[in-house]
Amino acid sequence: MKFLRKLWAIPEAGIFVPLLVFTLVFFCLNQSFLEPNSVAAMLRAMTFVGIIAVGQTWLMIAGGIDLSVGSVAGLCAIVSSWLMKTQGLPVEAGLLAGLAVGFMAGLVNGLIVVRFGIPAFIATLGMLYVARGLNYLLCQGYPIYPIPDPLKDLGRAEPLGLSWAFVAFVLLAGIGDFALRRTVYGRMVYATGGNVEVARIAGINTAWVQIGCYMLTGAMAAVAGMLLMSQLNVGQPEIGVGWELDVIASVVIGGVSLFGGVGTVVGTFLGLLIMQVVRSGLVVTGVNTHWQTVAVGVIMVTAVGVDLLRRRTKIS
Q: Number of folded domains in the chain? A: 1
Residue 173 covered by a domain: yes
Arithmetic mean of pLDDT, 1-25: 72
Residue 169 covered by a domain: yes
**Dihedral sign computed on CA atoms, order 127, 128, 130, 134:** positive
Residue 315 has pLDDT above 60, yes or no: no
Name which of 177, 174, 200, 173 is nearest 188 in CA terms. Answer: 200
> Using 50, 70 and 90 to split pLDDT, how confident is the model at 145?
confident
Lowest mean pLDDT among 51-60, 89-98, 205-214, 296-305: 296-305
Tell me which residue range forms the domain holding 183. Answer: 48-241+257-263
Residue 8 has pLDDT above 60, yes or no: no
Residue 152 covered by a domain: yes
- Averaged pLDDT score across all residues of the chain: 89
Residue 234 has pLDDT above 70, yes or no: yes
Residue 4 covered by a domain: no
pTM exceeds 0.85 for this model: yes
Can you give the pLDDT at residue 299?
A: 79
Name which of 180, 220, 213, 250 is nearest 73 in CA terms. Answer: 220
Residue 316 has pLDDT above 60, yes or no: no
Residue 190 has pLDDT above 80, yes or no: yes
Arithmetic mean of pLDDT, 21-32: 89
Residue 282 has pLDDT above 90, yes or no: no
Q: Which residues pair with residue 235 across a beta bridge?
A: 144
Can you give the pLDDT at residue 258?
A: 84
Answer with the residue of higher pLDDT: 65 or 279: 65
The burial class, CB within 10 Å (0-12 / 13-18 / 19+), for 149 is exposed
Residue 5 covered by a domain: no
Residue 282 covered by a domain: no
> Using 50, 70 and 90 to split pLDDT, how confident is the model at 50?
very high
Can you give the pLDDT at residue 178?
A: 96
Percent of the chain, pLDDT > 70?
92
Can you give the pLDDT at residue 9?
A: 60
Can you give the pLDDT at residue 296?
A: 78
Compute the distance between CA of residue 12 and CA of residue 193 in angstroms, rounded to an integer.
19
Compute the distance between CA of residue 39 and CA of residue 274 in angstroms, rounded to an integer.
13
Which amino acid makes up residue 278? V
Can you give the pLDDT at residue 313?
A: 63
Residue 166 has pLDDT above 60, yes or no: yes
Residue 142 covered by a domain: yes
Residue 205 covered by a domain: yes
Lowest mean pLDDT among 178-187, 199-208, 295-304: 295-304
> Using 50, 70 and 90 to split pLDDT, how confident is the model at 3?
low
Q: Is 157:163 a contact under the CB 8 Å cutoff?
A: yes
Arithmetic mean of pLDDT, 49-69: 97
> Using 50, 70 and 90 to split pLDDT, how confident is the model at 179?
very high
